[in-house]
Structure 1
């Protein structure tokens, strides 16, 4: 299963990508996270549905300096074929 999320708020320049990678690694998820030009952060994660929901809960919290306004997300029944979780640039 895949989680695709766009995180809105003060999420760039506050270690949000690093926080997301560390959380995904801890949960055993695969995929990626990257900053988008409009100031949002995009997350694509693959794994067990319960672990993806736990990641989503953590995305709403974020690191201490982040201010999350909203997250647009969807769960998809597909396989991304990822081998690890990476920060994309």
Structure 2
């Protein structure tokens, strides 16, 4: 799964995370993980109970971030994390989107 991160020069990816990822503080935990890894972008809940992440950063940092997303939150259960390349936007921070 983290190995699926595209190594494009724009260094931006979009991910849809499914499982028990809403109602457990997952978005706010993701913000902290992003800050630790030097990732910019955003995270938001989706109506289908998945969580969408848009992340920008160096390929190694993205790898570390998505490894943490998939395995680090103590109360979440990540059943799948579908990652795809996305256009680079140039965000300067990582935030929860509503």
Alignment TM-score, normalising by the size of structure 2: 0.84
Question: In structure 2, how many angstroms separate the alpha carbons of the residues matched to 1:68 and 1:62?
Answer: 10
| Aligned equivalent of 2:30 | 20
Question: In structure 2, how many angstroms separate the alpha carbons of the residues matched to 1:50 and 1:75?
Answer: 15
| Aligned equivalent of 2:90 | 81
Give every structure 1 segment of 4 or more consecutive aligned residues whose post-TM-superposition deviation is greater than 6 Å: none
| Aligned equivalent of 1:10 | 20
| Aligned equivalent of 1:59 | 69
Higher share of residues assigned strand:
1
Q: What is the number of residues matched between the two proteins?
A: 88
> 1:44 aligns to what SS in structure 2?
strand
Alignment TM-score, normalising by the size of structure 1: 0.92
8 Å Cα contact 1:19-1:62 kept in structure 2: no
- Structure 1, unaligned runs of 5 or more: none
